[in-house]
């Protein structure tokens, strides 16, 4: 084996010099991140400039409070509901759309993506526009069936359903778009041999399509999971976590601690928990993705 030629120093440094601007701006985000961890051990507040170390008091109090466990539970409910439904619906829609190739399906492939471009806050505006009890068209539609003044986000029994609906409207196209791209990139030859072997459509889907789609599905899952678990915009713009604390997920409860009660020290641990969850789950999902990619290539 030929021994690698020793590189001069400037060549060794070159990638770092090219990266330098990015690394410098990166400090702008890494510094506040470290400071956030630091704050979680202090009683830092936005109201007063005096603060001191309190050790792990914030952490212990958070773990003891029922509010924290409630917001964790809301976070889990919201994430499972939105991500689960979006993955399922996105997959089914992509399969349905991929079966046909006519003008209608080609137009759909373009226009169904539009809601994905809409900001969650604006999506909430559209939701209010349609569901408000005075002029909303959905309200008028429900009136036909004898349902009057459906409470949507105003009642704790329907609030989660309402925000999940808004999230579905915005984000299902993301899964749809990725799975559609995955379906179009599938190899032809395994399907031809499956046809000759006479496998049923369901069997072909289960043993061929689904495993081949696994990398794309995992990518969609990673992106959707990381966004859903920290969802803030939709819940803030509909109910700010209410009614009561029905929709108070970790992001909103941290926001409330920091900006309503001006207590940074107790706000930060909640988000660090969120960050740990994201970190842990996304690492697992990324390694599953790498494995499925190499399994398909091999």
Partner 1 sequence: MYQRKSKFERTAGIAGTILLVVYMIFSLFPLVWMVITSFKSDVDMYKTLFIFKPTLENFKNVLTTGNYVKAFTDNFIICAGAVLISVIVGVPAAYALARYQFKKKESVAFTILSFKFAPEILIIIPLFAIFQTLHLYDTYLGMIWIYQFIGLPLLIWVLRGYFEDIPVEMERAAELDGYSWWSVFFKMLIPLIRPGLVAAALLSFIFCWNNFTFGLMLCGFHIQTITVSALTYIATDTVHYGQMAVASLIAIAPEIILCLCIQKHLVRGLSFGAVKG
Residues 39-78 that bind partner 1 (CB under 8 A): 39, 46
Instruction: Indicate whether 162 belongs to the interface with partner 1 (CB under 8 A).
Output: no
Question: To which residue do tokens 């289960």 refer?
Answer: 206
State which of positions 169-228 bind partner 1 (CB under 8 A): 169, 172-174, 177-178, 180-182, 184-185, 198, 200-202, 215-216, 219-220, 223, 226
Contact residue for partner 1 among 54, 72, 108, 154 (CB under 8 A): 108
* Interatomic CA distance for residues 163 and 280, integer angstroms: 26
Nearer to partner 1, 58 or 251 (CB): 251
- Smallest distance from partner 1 to CB 62, Å: 15
**Burial environment of residue 153 by CB neighbours within 10 A (0 to 12, 13 to 18, 19 or more):** buried
Contact residue for partner 1 among 27, 66, 114, 144 (CB under 8 A): 114
Give me Rg for the CA atoms of the chain. 25
* Interatomic CA distance for residues 148 and 122, integer angstroms: 25
φ, ψ of residue 263 to 5 degrees: the values are -110, 95
Contact residue for partner 1 among 1, 50, 117, 196 (CB under 8 A): 117
State which of positions 14-43 bind partner 1 (CB under 8 A): 14-16, 18-19, 21-23, 25-26, 28-33, 35-36, 39
| Start-to-end CA span in the chain (Å) | 28
- Cis before residue 243, ω within 30 degrees of 0? yes
Nearer to partner 1, 15 or 55 (CB): 15
Size of residue set near partner 1 by CB under 8 A: 96
Contact residue for partner 1 among 68, 82, 83, 120 (CB under 8 A): 120
Structure tokens at 189: 């030859």
- Smallest distance from partner 1 to CB 80, Å: 18
Contact residue for partner 1 among 56, 88, 96, 295 (CB under 8 A): 96
* Interatomic CA distance for residues 263 and 47, integer angstroms: 8
Instruction: Indicate whether 264 belongs to the interface with partner 1 (CB under 8 A).
Output: yes
Which residues are CB-neighbours of 145 under 8 A, at least 6 positions away? none
Contact residue for partner 1 among 60, 137, 147, 295 (CB under 8 A): 137
Residue 232: helix, strand or coil by DSSP?
coil
């Amino acid at each position: 084996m030929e021994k690698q030629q020793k590189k001069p120093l400037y060549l060794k440094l070159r990638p770092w010099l090219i990266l330098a601007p990015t690394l410098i701006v990166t400090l702008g985000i890494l510094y506040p991140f470290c400071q956030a961890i630091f704050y979680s051990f202090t009683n830092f507040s936005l109201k007063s400039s005096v603060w001191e170390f309190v050790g792990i008091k914030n952490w212990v109090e958070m773990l003891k409070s029922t509010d924290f466990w409630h917001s964790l539970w809301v976070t889990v409910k919201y994430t499972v509901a939105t991500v689960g439904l979006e993955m399922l619906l996105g997959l089914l829609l992509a399969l349905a759309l991929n079966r046909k190739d006519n003008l209608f399906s080609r137009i759909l492939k373009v226009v169904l993506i539009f809601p994905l471009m809409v900001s969650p806050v604006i999506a909430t505006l559209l939701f209010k526009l349609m569901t408000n009890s005075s002029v909303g068209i959905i309200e008028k539609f429900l009136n036909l069936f004898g349902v009057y003044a459906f409470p949507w986000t105003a009642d704790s029994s329907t609030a989660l359903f309402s925000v999940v609906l808004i999230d579905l409207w915005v984000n299902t196209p993301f899964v749809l778009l990725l799975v559609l791209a995955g379906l179009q990139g599938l190899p032809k030859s395994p399907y031809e041999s499956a046809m000759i072997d006479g496998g049923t459509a369901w069997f072909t889907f289960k043993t061929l399509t689904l495993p081949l789609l696994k990398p794309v599905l995992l990518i969609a899952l990673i992106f959707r999971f990381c966004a859903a678990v920290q969802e803030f915009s939709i819940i803030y713009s509909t109910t700010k976590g209410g009614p009561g604390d029905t929709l108070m997920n970790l992001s909103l409860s941290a926001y409330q601690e920091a900006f309503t009660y001006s207590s940074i020290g107790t706000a930060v641990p909640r988000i660090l928990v969120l960050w740990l969850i994201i970190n842990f789950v996304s690492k697992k999902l990324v390694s599953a993705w790498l494995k499925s990619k190499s399994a398909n290539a091999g």
